[in-house]
Chains A and B, each alone.
Chain A
Amino acid sequence: MDHVVQDTAGPFDTLQVEAHALPVHLSVKLFNSGLGAGITRAPRVDVIPQDLVPPPRLMPAWHPNWADPQTIGVQFADVIEAPRSESASASPHTPPGTLDSGSAFLPAAASPTQPGRRTRVDVPEAALSITDRLFYLLQPPIESLLSGQELLMPFEPFPFQYQGIAWLFSRSCGLLADEMGLGKTMQAISAFRLLLRAGQIRSVLLVCPKPLITNWQRELGMWAEEIPVVAIEGPSPRRRMLWEMQNIPVKIANYELLVRDVQMIGEDEFPAFDLVILDEAQRIKNRESQTNQAARGLRRQRSWALTGTPIENRPSDFVSLLEFIGAIPAHGASDIRQLNRLARDFVLRRTKDRVLTDLPPRLDRDETLELNPAQELAYHTAETDGVVQLSELGESITIQHVFELVLRLKQICNYDPLTGQSCKLDRLTAEMEEIAESGGKAILFSQWTRSLDWMHGRLQPFSPLIYHGGVPSARRDDVLASFRDDPDCHLLLMSYGVGAVGLNLQWAGYVFLYDRWWNPAVEDQAINRAHRIGQQNPVLVTKFICRDTIEERIDRVLQQKRELFRAVLGDGDVSNSSLSLDARDIFGLFDLKAGHGEQLRSIQPPLAEEH
């Protein structure tokens, strides 16, 4: 009897075991027991399979158990995605590879011109911990951040603007000091828009001069339409309520209201912000002013300052800005060398000639004019009498006395109030005829609203519009819109105080400086209303200067002073860093002498007024 046992349970090959029947010879003695039949039956043998002993294994029986490596983790704040606009939506059934946020989410005109361009976020020096540094290193290029979030951009930013956005994005304190017209507003908006979307900040306070509030609202509507914004205005209870609103991420206030409301609410009770931006930040240049103190007293996580003229008058202006952004402690005195180093670390400044190589040129010309006869008589009479009167004051003379004479002479240079003669108006009229004939538009700046009103009545053939402090804020946007849209309107008369900052008037190809401001930086700001991004044609800038007058002397002094601040902001950057006239300069405009005979001596300003 053969049995074959197959063992298939083991891990090895099937075993085949043969079982052979063995001859069994049993010696049996029979006895009568009554069981004989049972004894004669063949014996029954059962075969029971038995497990065999497994052969020895050839592999080690242990499993490697390596320790997991240590890890570092960085969590990013929840991304807030904007709701898709109709035009930006892509069908869920869009075929692979056809969904194109990099361009489809932009208007066709705004498609990136260089799709492969990447502007990476810098790791700020202040980021010391590894997790902070990883946060910045792992941010995608700014281009993909802006396109990838379905952020509608009305225009494709310039490469230097992407760099500016990336620079601001990564900085808790920074001074963006681009020359006017390079888009500081747009860069700041895009940067804090990204921070808001990334959940890095939740509240932004934007402080700007009052006339610029509507400009900021318009720019925010253009560059960050989805972000709720509120301008702080109205009576006190309403303003208090607006300050306390939690669900509006961006608040805009003007400097005067900020000062007033900080006093009203109290510095400790005043709301804290994740980011405070000061536009036209030179407004806090005087560190002892209420504006400066109100701004520095704001509780905030991040501080950005925007200005095209970080040094308007003297290095202390710059120091005040550095104090606000936290680059130096309060009242931290710095010499020129230190300021230069701080500028490298905390200031981003680009000039048009370096980044906008394709911007049409700005052509400056000084129109030196001869006073009309009646004007000349009035001028010299006023100057002679004025100098005599000042000299008679002797040591009791003050800067105000000299200043009044300067103003009176400058006004006569604009026009003779008695006869109405004006060499400047004559030249302006001649030039405007040519400009109007060619369909061009011009902006004119003057220090005096009275001069502007006077001109307005005499330049009617060119349908002039007026934009100065006397025009109500609510009407100012309409004035600008009329100037842009009305083909018959060729001239916009503006005051330096209201029109020099923040406005975009790039459709004007001509700028007249009817009289000179005390500071070339302010003049440059005014000129850059027209000479900025979007300008298609060269901008002709005409400065009227009356020969042999106070205007010529002021111009000479200002030209000399332009060079003094080159050291602070770097070589080649003298376009906007300059000094305005100080007391010594103003005294120097006249040959003021006190005493008699050999005792005659020059009158100098009192020491207190020199500083």
Chain B
Amino acid sequence: MSDPAVDSRTFRIGFLASLETDDGAFVAGLLVTNRYGRPLEFQCTSPVRPTRAQQLLYGETLRPFLLGELMGRALLDRLGTQPDLLVTDHDAILDLRNHITIPMARIETQPDTAASKSVAAPPLGRVRMGRRILSIHSAHQHDISALHHGATQVAAETDLQEPLERIRQALAETL
């Protein structure tokens, strides 16, 4: 949980991203950075191909299960450096929030353009962090306070999408 009393220098953001391979396997990576985007720790999974049983059992919820509950939680368990906030750009990964206590947010698909900056405030349940608008899991409304705290920690020019691209590049390297 966010703790405003925490020294802002120790504020860490975890970025979670995934890749799907051509043969239907998934890899996921979790990059923990300081508030300036400098990497502190990175964990990534080996490729995971869902079993037939998993496909049958989870059906439409297979991706949230794989990327969130299974892979996301495994990555979080391996971390030596716990983040104060987790950020992703994938709806399925956001499902991880149901299995952990760390606040999570998802980057809205539309970048925060100059036009949108003129809007007085983002819609309810969304917070502008750096150049992006982030939203929280509908079942975890109290994460909004962590997001507000995070918004005070990162620079206005920060692009939170950029570390996710780094992760995907790194994941491609591991395949």
* A residues lining the B interface (CB < 8 Å): 64, 66, 68-76, 79, 81, 92, 94-104, 115-116, 118, 130, 133-134, 137-141, 144-145, 147-149, 198
Contact = CB atoms under 8 A, between A and B. Distances in A.
Interface residues of B, number: 48
A137 B170 contact: yes
Contacts of A100: 155-157
Contacts of B39: 74, 76, 138-140
A141 B128 CA distance: 22
A130 B29 CA distance: 14
Contact of A97 (B45, B128, B166): B128
List 5 tightest A-B contacts by C-beta distance, closest first.
A148-B36, A102-B157, A96-B151, A101-B155, A69-B45
Q: Which one of A97, A137, A140 has the highest number of Cβ atoms from chain B below 10 Å of its Cβ? A: A97
B19 interface: no
A140 B43 contact: no
DSSP majority for the B interface?
Answer: mixed
B46 A148 contact: no
Contacts of A115: 157
Contacts of B75: 71
A9 B35 CA distance: 51
B71 to A, nearest CB: 6
Given A75-B41, A92-B152, A137 B169 contact: yes
Contacts of B74: 68-69, 71
Contacts of B155: 99-102, 104, 147-148
Interface of B: 8-9, 31, 33-34, 36-46, 48, 54, 57, 70-71, 74-75, 77-78, 80, 127-130, 148, 151-159, 162-163, 166-167, 169-170, 173-174
Contact of B152 (A94, A103, A141): A94
A92 B39 CA distance: 23
Contact of A148 (B37, B48, B70, B167): B37
Given A68-B74, A69-B71, 9 more contacts: A71-B44, A71-B45, A71-B78, A99-B156, A102-B156, A102-B157, A118-B162, A137-B169, A138-B42
A71 B47 CA distance: 9
A72 B41 contact: no
B163 A140 contact: yes
B148 A96 contact: yes
B46 A69 contact: yes
B45 A134 contact: no
Contact of A66 (B31, B37, B45, B70): B70
A66 B77 CA distance: 15
